[in-house]
Structure 1
Amino acid sequence: MASEEENAAVDPIVIDIGSGTVKAGISGYEQHQLIMRTLVAREAGAPKLLVGGDLNKAEASSDVHVKPPVDAGEIVNFEDVEEIIKYCIKMLKCEPEETPVLVLESPTCSKAERAALARILLEKLGVPKILTSSSGKLALFGAGAMTGVVVSVGHGVTHVTPVLDGNVVVDAVQRLPLGGRDITLQIQEAHGGDEMPFHVANRVKEHVAYVADDFEEESGKEFEERALLNLEHEEDGIIKYGPECFRAPEILFDPSLAGLDARGVHELVFEAIRKCPAERRAELYSAILLTGGTTLLKNFPERLQMEVRNLAPEGSAEDVAVVAPDDRQHSAWVGGSVLCGLGSVASAWLTKEEYDADGEAAVEQKLPF
């Protein structure tokens, strides 16, 4: 086992396990070095779990049972997540016993989930120390800020996380169980369900879907059917698309269109700010940060800003500003990389020695940062 001096010299790795993708890399870099789907599979008749490149090869050559270990931002299978973490460490050419690990966690992560992650990392894999931190908070760090409201629209869930002076206002965090996957499913459904493969519907979303300025007005317009050549999957030929390209994303603002009795993302932003101290609300309205690949949808930032302005109290509406960095699908990982380099968090890491001595009590005392 490496000494404390050797461990101190090893750069931590940062792992962001989302519902759709896993991003991992050695801290200190501007971008992660590894990205893969958050999927684990088992080949028929084989006990070995397959992830990453091994999964891709098996999918192409055999009948495999594929399952996601993370659903709507919550870990549902810790055994599979352990395999993903081991794969990340291996692909980054690191030794578990020598490498500190920062794991990004969902803004609504439970104590039980955090304790299970600590058990995997410190007990099963034997890493020397770990740190966990909210993905929303780290996205803000990645943008160079300490205060703001982070709107994260991921693969299967949307979170709104208010942060004041680097601290998450836990009681004000909002959650909507809809994300990019659900928009893709709406597009797929508009094309007869399984008649359009999911990957094709996803390409339609990524290339032509957009958020309408005014949904009712847009719905009243004549919409000529158009064609999209799916270049990545030439066997799919010409793909026709129509008004589903703006109707599908509308579920983020009106979840009832997806059969959910829930508030839209703009209403969640308003509610999150309302639950924060009155004297800080104007500051939060002026710093609404977008993160997650789904926020790259055309016109999403502009529509969100308009809707929040309509809800904001008199005197605050003009202050509303939505910030949409170009690389916002990676900003949470970048924030984690930045955090690992801060000397001020050196004492925040939970060491294996502390965990071995006090178990879950040490987890509750020191995590998350």
Structure 2
Amino acid sequence: MFSNKQHSKTIYQTLFEKFSVPVAYQEIKPVLCVYSAGRVTALSAFLGHTGFSVAPVYEGCLISSALKRSSLGGSTISNRLAEILTASHVNFNNEDLHNIKSTLSYISPNYEVETQLQSTEGKSYTFYDGNTQYLKNELFRPAEILFKPNLLGLDIDGIHYMINDSIMTCPMDTRNELTKNVVLSGGTSAYKGLQERLTTELKDVDEELFETLKIVVNPAQSAWLGASILGSLSTFPDIALSKQYYEECGNSVRDSFIAP
């Protein structure tokens, strides 16, 4: 998510010296995700395939001291689904896992209650070998690990506690604005029921802090969209590094365009 200085220098060098782009500018993913939602201040919560990150952005600047990261993500859910199906002696392949996750799976509004219900509505699914199974708790158990990592034996916080901890680490005068602007992005953020469940869990953690909570879900290519918005602004040339300036001023100017 964040490039080191040497990586950033290499990017500028490649863009200008190999591809001869006229101007270039580097920005971190959380800020771009916030821009994609039409904001400059928000809590960027990115739930991707390989992990989850929380990054408060205030007036376009990352509050780095409040950054939180976790290994919980789409791949963790896939592995959990595979374990559950294996325990049920079902033959499946990776395409089955993808299809079930993207079309049938959901996050339960109340996990404890739903696991006890015998009347939980299920869905039929035909696996690659032609075997059709009626899936019920297999549809909501895998993603529950986002809120209860202990189901995997992991001693880490769920995503709702990470969001709360991140906001509480921020300066007090920024917290209200951040809780009113939570931008949830990344492919896994499209999970059915996630927005509603996350709202409930956050208010259970701290009802007063999250009284004005508003979550915006912006899953698809949010960083790219934010970059396109930034690049289309009339002020973009004022903040970007031009190829001419890069060639004239050398390493000193290159360093000034790279965050420490």
TM-score by length of 2: 0.86
Asked if 1:192 is matched to 2:86, the reply is yes
Equivalent-residue separation in structure 2 for 1:120 and 1:195 (angstroms): 47
Letter in 1 for 2:95: H
Could you tell me which runs of 5 or more consecutive residues in structure 1 were left unpaired when the two chains were aligned: 1-105
Q: Per-residue displacement from partner, 1:154-208 (whole Å, max 9, x unpaired)?
A: 1112111211112121221211112112212211222229942112111101111
Could you tell me which runs of 5 or more consecutive residues in structure 2 were left unpaired when the two chains were aligned: none
Letter in 1 for 2:99: R
For the aligned residues, what is the CA RMSD? 2.6
Secondary structure of the residue that 1:192 maps to in structure 2? helix
Equivalent-residue separation in structure 2 for 1:250 and 1:201 (angstroms): 16
Aligned counterpart, 1:25? none
Preserved CA contact (<8 Å) 1:188 1:198: no
Aligned counterpart, 2:154? 260
Identity of aligned residues (%): 27
Question: After the TM superposition, which residues 107-146 of structure 1 pair with which residues of structure 2 at under 5 Å, given as runs?
Answer: 108-146=2-40
Aligned counterpart, 1:207? 103
Equivalent-residue separation in structure 2 for 1:358 and 1:179 (angstroms): 41
Aligned counterpart, 1:365? 256
Aligned counterpart, 1:340? 231
Letter in 2 for 1:135: K
Structure with the largest fraction of strand: 1
CA shift, 1:302, in A, is 0.8
Preserved CA contact (<8 Å) 1:274 1:281: yes
Question: After the TM superposition, which residues 71-150 of structure 1 pair with which residues of structure 2 at under 5 Å, given as runs?
Answer: 106=1, 108-150=2-44
Preserved CA contact (<8 Å) 1:348 1:366: no
Question: Which moves more between the two structures, 185-194 or 295-304?
Answer: 185-194
CA shift, 1:350, in A, is 2.6
Asked if 1:322 is matched to 2:215, the reply is yes
Secondary structure of the residue that 2:192 maps to in structure 1? coil
- Residues 338 and 317 of structure 1: is their aligned pair in 2 closer, same or farther, counting only changes over 3 Å? closer
Match of 1:181 among 48, 59, 75: 75
Secondary structure of the residue that 1:269 maps to in structure 2? helix
- Residues 146 and 192 of structure 1: is their aligned pair in 2 closer, same or farther, counting only changes over 3 Å? same
Aligned counterpart, 1:287? 181
CA shift, 1:110, in A, is 3.0
- Residues 113 and 177 of structure 1: is their aligned pair in 2 closer, same or farther, counting only changes over 3 Å? farther
- Residues 119 and 262 of structure 1: is their aligned pair in 2 closer, same or farther, counting only changes over 3 Å? farther
Secondary structure of the residue that 1:171 maps to in structure 2? helix
Q: Which protein has greater RCO, CA pairs closer than 8 Å, 6+ apart?
A: 2
CA shift, 1:364, in A, is 3.6
Equivalent-residue separation in structure 2 for 1:269 and 1:181 (angstroms): 20
Equivalent-residue separation in structure 2 for 1:262 and 1:109 (angstroms): 25
Secondary structure of the residue that 2:229 maps to in structure 1? helix
- Residues 246 and 125 of structure 1: is their aligned pair in 2 closer, same or farther, counting only changes over 3 Å? same
Equivalent-residue separation in structure 1 for 2:145 and 2:196 (angstroms): 16
TM-score by length of 1: 0.62
Secondary structure of the residue that 1:187 maps to in structure 2? helix
Preserved CA contact (<8 Å) 2:22 2:243: yes
Aligned counterpart, 1:85? none
Aligned counterpart, 1:299? 193
CA shift, 1:217, in A, is 2.2
CA shift, 1:220, in A, is 2.2
CA shift, 1:124, in A, is 4.4
